[in-house]
Amino acid sequence: MQEKMLIKGGNKLVGCIDVQGAKNATLPIMAASILLKDQTLRLNNVPNLQDIRTMSALLCNLGADVQYKDQTMVIFVPETLKSEAPVELVRKMRASSLVLGPLVARNGRAVLPLPGGCVLGSRPLDFHFKGLTKMGATIELEHGSVYATAKELKGAKITLDFPSVGATENLMMAATLAKGTTYIENAALEPEILNLADVLRSMGAKITGDGTNVIEIIGQKSLCSATGDIIPDRIEAATYLLAGLITKGSVTVSGINPNYLEQIITKLEEANVSIDINNDAITASWNDSIRGVSVKTLPHPGFPTDIQPQLMALLTLTPGTSVINESVFDSRLLHVDEFKKMGAKIEIQDNVAIVTGVSKITGATVHSSNLRAGAALILMGLAAEGETVVCDLHHVWRGYENMVDKLLSLGANITLLEDE
């Protein structure tokens, strides 16, 4: 895919978007297939994204067969899988770490180069390692790779220091094949956790308590073939709602449970945005009484950090002063300097951004540092006067399916530029 997008701003975005399957639900569920032996996992509503292709390549490298067509993925897992993940794939995507727990549980051994992905600060894997160690694994870090071994994982009581989504997923998967019962306390509550638990249950796992602070997993000797459905992507849905608002238009997202967007809808209503909910369709419309708000990102059910940059984009053009406290990732304000190139008025104090709304922003050449920052810069370009060029789009293609076509259908004036 091309790395640059030319945006001619000023068009109001109006229309309806069907929400894609959730990337952050698909990746752990794909990793869960590793738990199978000579069995098949079939998944529906799988988005066609770079991160999904990377995880597919990783599973194939380990020995699985992955077929994908028309949003349906079929993963056949043979009796034997390799235990070492290839560095060139792992370094592309932080979610590669999700294969660690399933591999140790299944093979008794896993070798994983330290993962790559978005630059979002420390995001250490310590929570994953501590939990697996509690279950009887030995973890060693050597030459830039994680070596995990276990003759047999055993059920344990694990208390996470922070409700990490990745750690909850990794430990929940590992515990499905551990001997005995595992309790994960201070577990993450995100909808994607519930989606993973649902699919694991369909594979024969015994899991209760997902969606609460304590998840209980009773280990089984083996799991079986299953079919699972991927939930809609709440981050994509919110991004398009905000794209409509920042261009003073009106966008509807359909095919998503409004409960998944509860925190976002509440915050937009606080800002006086007009919100209409009709079953599985949500419409957000601009009105002239929109005002600034204060928001603090938190683990679910708090305001999601993955929407913070896109909301900040809207707030740059919203009358009044807004305060954004980024409490989840310590480097998730890297987009602020790029926003300022376009005329945004933002001050940073530690992990707090103070945004003073301006009446207009102007086009510039800007660079995305991560997936959600890239999406936010595209929103800024859509609202700016003149032309904006957003560079380093490989970050964006990791999380948004058919984004160009979807924006064009809403009335955007955008063109992908050929790489020089």
Dihedral sign for Cα atoms in the order 92, 97, 98, 99: positive
Distance CA 420, CA 406 (A): 25
26 Cβ neighbours under 8 A, 6+ residues apart = 43, 46, 47, 52, 55, 230
Query: Is the separation of the CB atoms in 290 and 272 below 8 Å?
Result: yes
**375's tokens:** 């999406």
Distance CA 390, CA 315 (A): 20
Query: Is the separation of the CB atoms in 46 and 21 below 8 Å?
Result: yes
Token pair 């660079």 in the structure block, residue: 367
* 250-254 and 281-285 beta bridge pairing: antiparallel
CA distances from 346 to 295, 336, 337, 340, 406 (A): 15, 7, 9, 7, 30
Q: Where are the alpha helices (DSSP H) in 108-261?
A: 126-134, 165-175, 191-202, 234-246
Query: Is the separation of the CB atoms in 228 and 202 below 8 Å?
Result: yes
Asked if the bond preceding 301 is cis, omega within 30° of 0, the reply is yes
- In 243-382 the beta strands, taken as DSSP E runs, fall at 250-254, 274-278, 281-285, 294-296, 321-325, 345-349, 352-356, 365-367
Secondary structure of residue 266 in the 3-state scheme:
helix
Question: Is 16 a known active-site residue?
Answer: no
Diameter over CA atoms, the chain: 64
CA distances from 267 to 229, 281, 322 (A): 29, 18, 12
Q: Which of 16, 60, 118, 391 is catalytic?
A: 118
Phi, psi of 228 (to 5 degrees): -135, 155
Question: Cβ-count burial of 54 within 10 angstroms (0-12 exposed, 13-18 middle, 19+ buried)?
Answer: buried
For the chain, helix (H) and strand (E) counts, in that order, are 14, 23
Phi, psi of 7 (to 5 degrees): -120, 125
Catalytic positions are 118
